[in-house]
Copies of this chain bind each other. A is one copy, B any other.
Amino acid sequence: MTAHKNPPIKRFIWPVASIMLSLILGERAAVAKPVTVADLLANSPAQDWRFPEPADTLYLDMPGGRVIIELAPRIAPLHVANITMLARAHYFDGLAVLRVQDNYVVQWADPAHQRPVPDGIHLVAAEFTADRSVGRQFEPLAERDVYATQVGFLDGFPAARDPRSGMVWLAHCYGMVGVGRDDPPESDGTEMYAVIGHAPRQLDRNVTLVGRVLKGIELLSSLPRGSGEMGFYLPSEPLAPIVSVRIAADLPTSERTPIEVLRTDSATFHSVLEQRRNRREAWFKFNPGHIDLCNVPLPVRTPGSGR
């Protein structure tokens, strides 16, 4: 071996590198089979899961089944109060999905603008952001982000934070639910939408997000797209009817859908995050090494079913 092929610097580095390499390879070899997200969830302790508050759980019942939405009362208290009152007044029952814009949103409201808004429901101030007292529980994600200085999770929702002011806001990821508004920033909650496409993060801090679909988003995302402007259904196109909207706490237990959500502050969640950031499955030839906020899984399961 000539000095040219094996210069001193490499002679020195090789033993160190060799030890490190065997440690890395050894660790990999110790993983008998790739740890998948399903494995992690199956082996998770019970305390890593939480039951969403029935008082903050909205059931949007469609002919095809139930869409379960977790509301965010700490982040959008005024809007959540309005939506709760609207649900209690059965305001949404018999209304419809009137807009399905591909790669964007599904929106439900009163198509005819004829139903009287119940007493006590008024336009409320925009809740685009929440202050540092709410943001104290913000759990940062290590990753950078295109739209915000810092992203992470807040009360189980994908969120962003301004580290200087401590202000926090929810992020428009797939399945997030918000309230439609006109030009003024106020809204009353009578018009709601869910994101069914690539995260329209330009809407962050421009419209009030009130929660997230925990289950049943496919009942909305697979609806026929509207052919009108911005995906509104044309008069010739059938609307997708809403059977009812209820707060889970208002229903007898027998009519509730049991559901658990993985805690974002749990060890299991951090393992899931790490698994998705650094893929160990043989199928992956290139390790992404990073994860976009809106690609982080927020697993739910039916209690007792193991999934």
Where the two chains meet, the residues of A that have a C-beta atom closer than 8 Å to any C-beta of B are: 100, 102-103, 126, 128, 143-147, 173-175, 183, 185, 197-202, 204-206, 217-218, 221-225, 276, 279, 282-286, 288, 290-295
Which among B147, B276, B282, B295 is the interface contact of A183 at CB below 8 angstroms? B282
25 A-B contact pairs sorted by A residue (CB < 8 Å): A103-B175, A103-B217, A103-B221, A128-B285, A144-B144, A146-B290, A146-B291, A147-B288, A147-B290, A147-B292, A174-B197, A174-B198, A183-B283, A198-B292, A199-B292, A201-B292, A201-B295, A202-B288, A202-B295, A204-B286, A206-B284, A218-B225, A221-B225, A222-B222, A222-B223
Which residues of the other chain, B, contact A285 by a CB distance below 8 angstroms?
Answer: 126, 128, 185, 205-206
**How near does chain B come to A69, taking the closest CB pair, in angstroms?**
16
CB distance from A206 to the nearest CB of B (A): 5
Chain B neighbourhood of A174, CB < 8 A: 103, 197-198
CB distance from A52 to the nearest CB of B (A): 20
Q: In this complex, what residue of B is CB-closest to A146?
A: B292
Which of B201, B224, B282, B288 has a CB less than 8 Å from the CB of A201?
B288
A288 surroundings in chain B (CB, below 8 A): 147, 201-202, 204
Residues of B within 8 A of A282 (CB): 183
* Residues in B neighbouring A286, C-beta threshold 8 A: 128, 204-206
Within the assembled complex, what's the spacing in Å between the Cα atoms of A128 and B205? 37
Closest chain B CB from A30 CB (angstroms): 21
Partner of A202, one of B102, B222, B276: B276
Chain B nearest CB from A140 CB (Å) reads 14
CA distance A286 to B175 in the complex (A): 22
B residues near A145, Cβ cutoff 8 Å: 146
Docked pose: A292 CA to B201 CA in angstroms? 8
